[in-house]
Chain A
């Protein structure tokens, strides 16, 4: 009798899980394996992969001597650091603003998330216009001070990455505002009332109450920010295409170019596989470090 019940429970569970499981297995899970499989072939992308030569790890050997790719990895890690530092801190300040009891917070709450709502293509075009050397807003403002400014923000090898990273932080800070604010609403008002009675000022309330109680949300945010930065593609592709001379290249833009404009799907797959491995390793290390900190 017990066995029979359990069999029907399993069947029911299977039916509940099946639609999501099928789509996800087909598109994500199997794709991870197929990316690794493709990466072992010298394959242009035309014709079935089975017809192309299996060259073992030759793509990887080439990849880790590929200056452009190594530069892209460096850029990706710089983006990780800049994103964590600037997006999370800005997100925290914004969350504190919209969570405060001052008048007008409802208005701030509506306007701040705007960058998040705009499509990345639109964001990219808007900022392209602002960075434009001739008609752009930035040079226009600089010309008030010195009339001959023709600074090429996105054309300069030294400036380009920082200009785009500024826009990326602008775009994503509100996402962390929303997450952190959601975390703040879970902290009960009584904790703060008790602190006020004990004579704690706002600064102490933040560091002794808000910050430690948000540690879970901050961890989630940090992981999201790391994954997001390691896979980043859109704004770079739209604003600079990875240029000039690969100075704003990221792993994802490099992969896309190899796969779809240079017809090297096998090589592009070795870039993709490396991205998967790098992301998983970084996440495992970060999770481990966060756990260690909890145990202390």
Chain B
């Protein structure tokens, strides 16, 4: 009897949170198959009477595919570059026995402690000086920059856990530091790399304030700006806006479902100890 009560309690609480965290997605999906007429007719939050596909057509006919492509380009390059640059630096900090390694690590950690938005004005000026306003590279460089501290934090602690004897036997065989990094450390670090990749993918894909400040023209805009644009021009067409949100969120949801166990492994293996 007590066991049964425990189960009821568990599923009661778990189910409540399921509704709280899951219902906006159900609403988004339901709404994307509803016509504007039906929404304005008073059926705000109920199921559509007939399946309507016009919203999808409307979203694909707008600038949306272009925003999508821009987001893919900016995010893919930012994440890749930050993982390469971050893992190179992490390897040096964790394994090259430098006297100044702790200070270097602290230097990068400051980036996690200060509010990133406070660098907005200087970065806007810097980007202007480089002539990179309204260029995707003008956005990729700051994105790489913001991704570096967390990348270095997670990868340094992960590299330190990798047995040093593997490295020593490779040195005896005459391997250079770069070979050890590329052929041994990186392949052994997939959990940490996945964690960093997912975290930074999320941050870059959804980034809003820097994109809003550094990009101007329609053709250059990324998805978060595009959704806002779409919301501005289609304020009364709520079903179409929610369809746009659905399409913009699908890649990251699919990506996450496949990679979620890796995140937990990467976090528990290194960064979270201590």
Q: Interface on A for B, CB 8 Å cutoff?
A: 9-10, 12-13, 16-17, 19-21, 23-24, 26-32, 34-35, 38, 45, 49, 90, 93-94, 97, 100, 102, 104, 108-123, 125-127, 129, 135-137, 140, 170, 174, 178-179, 181-183, 185-186, 216-217, 220, 227, 230-231, 233-234, 237-238, 252, 255-256, 259-260, 265, 268-269, 272-273, 275-276, 279-280, 283
Q: If the complex has contacts A23-B144, A125-B227, are A217 and B272 also in contact, measured as CB distance less than 8 A?
A: yes
* Among B104, B108, B126, B205, contact of A119 (Cβ-Cβ < 8 Å): B205
Is B231 on the interface with A (CB-CB < 8 A)? yes
Is B106 on the interface with A (CB-CB < 8 A)? no
* Among A29, A32, A174, A185, contact of B21 (Cβ-Cβ < 8 Å): A174
Question: DSSP majority for the A interface?
Answer: helix
How many Å from the CB of B111 to the closest CB on chain A? 5
Q: Interface on B for A, CB 8 Å cutoff?
A: 7, 10-11, 13-14, 17-18, 20-22, 24-25, 27-28, 44-45, 84-86, 88-89, 91-93, 96-98, 104, 107-108, 110-126, 141-142, 144-146, 148-149, 152, 177-178, 181, 202, 205-206, 208-209, 213, 223-225, 227-228, 231, 238, 241-242, 245, 248-249, 252-253, 256-257, 260, 263-264, 267-268, 272-274
Docked pose: A24 CA to B81 CA in angstroms: 13
Q: Which residue of A lies closest to B24 (CB)?
A: A126
Do residues A256 and B260 form an inter-chain contact, with CB atoms below 8 A? Answer: no
Do residues A108 and B267 form an inter-chain contact, with CB atoms below 8 A? Answer: no
Do residues B119 and A283 form an inter-chain contact, with CB atoms below 8 A? Answer: no
Q: Which residue of A lies closest to B28 (CB)?
A: A126
Do residues A35 and B121 form an inter-chain contact, with CB atoms below 8 A? Answer: yes
Chain B residues closer than 8 Å to A100, beta-carbon distance:
10
Docked pose: A187 CA to B192 CA in angstroms: 19
How many Å from the CB of A147 to the closest CB on chain B? 14
Q: Which residue of A lies closest to B213 (CB)?
A: A260
Docked pose: A260 CA to B133 CA in angstroms: 14
Do residues B152 and A238 form an inter-chain contact, with CB atoms below 8 A? Answer: no
Do residues A16 and B181 form an inter-chain contact, with CB atoms below 8 A? Answer: yes
* Among A16, A111, A135, A273, contact of B88 (Cβ-Cβ < 8 Å): A16
Q: If the complex has contacts A32-B114, A117-B253, A179-B267, are A26 and B120 also in contact, measured as CB distance less than 8 A?
A: no
Chain A residues closer than 8 Å to B208, beta-carbon distance:
119-121, 234, 237-238
Docked pose: A183 CA to B122 CA in angstroms: 37
Do residues B115 and A108 form an inter-chain contact, with CB atoms below 8 A? Answer: no
Q: Would you give 10 A-B contacts (Cβ < 8 Å), ordered by A?
A: A12-B178, A112-B17, A114-B22, A118-B245, A121-B225, A123-B24, A182-B272, A230-B115, A231-B117, A279-B114
Chain B residues closer than 8 Å to A12, beta-carbon distance:
92, 96, 177-178
Do residues A178 and B89 form an inter-chain contact, with CB atoms below 8 A? Answer: no
Do residues B44 and A181 form an inter-chain contact, with CB atoms below 8 A? Answer: no
Q: If the complex has contacts A113-B256, A178-B264, are A26 and B126 also in contact, measured as CB distance less than 8 A?
A: yes
Do residues A119 and B88 form an inter-chain contact, with CB atoms below 8 A? Answer: no
Docked pose: A123 CA to B245 CA in angstroms: 9
Chain A residues closer than 8 Å to B152, beta-carbon distance:
20
How many Å from the CB of B136 to the closest CB on chain A? 16
How many Å from the CB of A250 to the closest CB on chain B? 10
Do residues A13 and B96 form an inter-chain contact, with CB atoms below 8 A? Answer: yes
Do residues B96 and A237 form an inter-chain contact, with CB atoms below 8 A? Answer: no
Do residues B249 and A119 form an inter-chain contact, with CB atoms below 8 A? Answer: yes
Q: If the complex has contacts A26-B126, A97-B13, A97-B14, are A122 and B248 also in contact, measured as CB distance less than 8 A?
A: yes
Q: Which residue of A lies closest to B176 (CB)?
A: A12
Do residues B209 and A114 form an inter-chain contact, with CB atoms below 8 A? Answer: no
Do residues B113 and A20 form an inter-chain contact, with CB atoms below 8 A? Answer: no
Q: A16-B89, A21-B89, A129-B242 are in contact. List 7 more A-B contacts (CB 8 A).
A: A16-B177, A28-B146, A118-B249, A119-B223, A125-B241, A140-B45, A231-B117
Do residues A38 and B121 form an inter-chain contact, with CB atoms below 8 A? Answer: yes
Q: If the complex has contacts A35-B119, A255-B117, are A116 and B202 also in contact, measured as CB distance less than 8 A?
A: yes
How many Å from the CB of A182 to the closest CB on chain B? 4
Do residues A94 and B112 form an inter-chain contact, with CB atoms below 8 A? Answer: no
Q: If the complex has contacts A135-B44, A178-B263, are A231 and B224 also in contact, measured as CB distance less than 8 A?
A: no
Q: Which 6 A-B pairs have the closest CB atoms?
A: A231-B115, A182-B267, A31-B119, A16-B92, A272-B118, A27-B145
Q: If the complex has contacts A97-B10, A97-B13, are A17 and B104 also in contact, measured as CB distance less than 8 A?
A: yes
Do residues B227 and A27 form an inter-chain contact, with CB atoms below 8 A? Answer: no
